[in-house]
Amino acid sequence: MIKNISKCLAAYKEQLELGELQIAYKALLKYMMSLKASFSSEFDGKYQVGNISPGYMDFTYFPFFNEYLRSEKLRFGIVLNHSALRFELWLMGQNAQIQKQYWTRLKDSPWNQHLQEMPKYSVLETILVASPDFDDLDLLTSDIFKSAKTESEKIWSYIKSQSS
């Protein structure tokens, strides 16, 4: 818990008065909406895409899933990690019980072997684009698509091989 909320709110107000925070946040959300729309078109028929969750200026994401993932109560998420300012792919469970179940199955996977405990919001996480160039959105979108396609297929194949 934050010990001095008044001090934090004063800093927040100061940043809002500068105006750049709103511009940056609006640009990020606008890009995420565009990315989601492009993702829906690019992967139409392969994945269903859910709504954007804007988060609390920590993570903004949209989920995507196919019938197999849905049957397993899993979904992928394209995540904008605000503090690291990078794009990540997360595998998320429908609820805490599913996440724990899959964490147990996947904690020794190539994506999790370096972790001691389960991530807070997901079963596994991997970086798609570590240093996004927001000045070339077409290239950024292409890079996210390529990485998301490659990584999601690897993860999906790994999960299916563990189920056999």
Residue 134 lies in a domain: yes
Residues 108, 115: Cα–Cα separation, whole Å? 9
Residue 58 makes CB contacts below 8 A (sequence gap 6+) with: 81, 82, 83
Residue 124 lies in a domain: yes
Q: Which residues of 109-142 are buried (b: 16+ CB within 10 A; e: fewer)?
A: bebbeeeeebeebbbbbbebbeebeeeebeebbe
Residue 16 lies in a domain: no
How confident is the model over 6-50, as pLDDT tens digits? Answer: 999 999 999 999 999 999 999 999 999 999 999 999 888 899 999
pLDDT value at residue 1 = 56
- Residues in the chain with pLDDT values less than 70: 1-2, 164
Residue 19 lies in a domain: no
Residues 26, 143: Cα–Cα separation, whole Å? 22
**The pTM of the whole model exceeds 0.85:** yes
Residue 54 lies in a domain: yes
Residue 5 lies in a domain: no
Q: Could you tell me the residue range of the domain that residue 37 belongs to? A: 31-163
Residue 42 lies in a domain: yes
pLDDT value at residue 142 = 97
- As beta bridge partners, residue 63 has 77
How confident is the model over 19-28, as pLDDT tens digits? Answer: 999 999 999 9
Sheet holding 124-129, edge to edge: 48-49, 59-65, 74-81, 86-93, 124-129
Residue 139 lies in a domain: yes
> Which two tokens mark 117?
């405990």
pLDDT value at residue 2 = 57
pLDDT value at residue 127 = 97
Number of domains the chain contains: 1
pLDDT value at residue 137 = 97
pLDDT value at residue 72 = 92
pLDDT value at residue 164 = 58
